[in-house]
Amino acid sequence: MTATFPGIPYLEWIVDRVDEATHDLATSDLGSSRRGDDLVPPVLAGRSDPEDATLSGQVAARYGVSESSVLVTAGATNANFLAACALLELASGDDEDGDGDDDSDASRPQVLVEKPGYQPLVATSEALGARVDRFVRPPEYDYELEPHRLDGASTDDFAYAIVTNRHNPSGKLTPRAELAEVASAAADAGGYLLVDEVYAPFVDPAADGPFGGTTASGLDNTVVTGSLTKFYGLGGLRVGWIIGPEEVVERARSASMYLPAVAEPSTKLARRALHHGDEIEAAAREHLSANHDLLATFVADRDELDGRIHAGGTFAFLNHATADGDAVVDAAWDRGVLVVPGRFFDAPESFRISLGGDPEAMETGLEAFGDALDDLDE
């Protein structure tokens, strides 16, 4: 199978808009207060480093696994890419049918991706040669993750299913017990469950899982990915990880030799961040709580908007009573406000809004967005 890498429309659309927007209501990492012009992010400046710790060891300790079950990666996108490489290699086996050059659908492992879903997760699996099919997380059932939908969609060449938790774009949080049911369905179908958990720590108050969130780590036939980008707000470090069975992690480690490794300065700063994780996470939860309240109040006060703000969530997938997602996005952009059209998440009638910045800036942004919605009503 020959991998090709076409453009990903969502990433191409948003890449320049974040810097151009006056009010960024699209970025989801809790990061504005953690960025600065210095080489060391302000939240890490002046803090001590751990004396005897590896970054993989720190991550392993958070998840309660051995270091052999951890691969540190250059961010969550890199983690998802390498996990896909490993899982597709496992699904392909030893290519018993010949030379591996058959590009027909029948020769390509099946990957199931949730719908609505994050477009790069679809594109990555397709680029690596998989046949991607979709299973629905129904809006009418609050985007519930239902095991029977995997049962109904999987075929004999099923390799893995991809889900996000919190669900991107809706913000729905799936408890571990329900994730276990989905993992069991994936295993029964002969494959794995891959869970992107970059939003899993978006929980207030903190839960018992890694980073105070919910995890699928440790479930049978399950691989999880995470990073310091969203909750810690340290996207500039480009530090992520894969947690999973050793046979998956080892194959991902081999694939990682073809790609840039995590830079040493990023590794050192990530070690420092995890060393002071309790303080950083406490501040992030205050930030999370404030932005959740702002978003929930705003949506509750706008009769023309429909959609749920999930408990503790700072992003949501919403509908306007009379305008589709593109119309809302265009009206917002005219007021300098960036929100994301739902067409990039399989739902053109919707739009995604996210409050990642400082609460004061987010409040101002919501005021401008309210003016944009008033423009639509005129």
pTM of the model: 0.94
CA 219 from chain center: how many Å? 19
Three-state DSSP at 237 gives helix
**108, two tokens:** 């390509």
Give the ranges where 239-358 is alpha helix by DSSP (H): 246-256, 264-275, 277-300, 325-334
For residue 102, what pLDDT is reported? 55
Domains of the chain: 9-37+278-377 (3.90.1150.10), 49-275 (3.40.640.10)
For residue 31, what pLDDT is reported? 73
Q: What is the pLDDT of residues 156-199, one digit of tens each?
A: 999 999 999 999 999 999 999 999 999 999 999 999 999 999 99
Per-residue confidence in pLDDT tens, the chain, 378 aa? 445 788 899 999 999 999 999 999 999 998 754 566 678 999 999 999 999 899 999 999 999 999 999 999 999 999 999 999 999 999 987 444 444 455 556 679 999 999 999 999 999 999 999 999 999 999 999 999 999 999 999 999 999 999 999 999 999 999 999 999 999 999 999 999 999 999 999 999 999 999 999 999 999 999 999 999 999 999 999 999 999 999 999 999 999 999 999 999 999 999 999 999 999 999 999 999 999 999 999 999 999 999 999 999 999 999 999 999 999 999 999 999 999 999 999 999 999 999 999 999 999 999 999 999 999 987
For residue 39, what pLDDT is reported? 86
Is 299 exposed, middle or buried (CB count within 10 Å of its CB: 0-12, 13-18, 19+)? middle
For residue 98, what pLDDT is reported? 43
For residue 107, what pLDDT is reported? 75
Specify the amino acid at residue 273. Answer: A
Catalogue the long-range contacts made by 101-104 (C-beta closer than 8 Å, 24 or more residues apart): 101/1, 103/1, 103/2, 103/129
Neighbouring residues of 362: CB distance < 8 A, sequence distance ≥ 6: 25, 291, 294, 295, 355, 356
Three-state DSSP at 314 gives coil
| β-strand pairing of 222-227 with 240-243 | antiparallel
Q: Which helix (H) or strand (E) holds 306?
A: strand 305-306
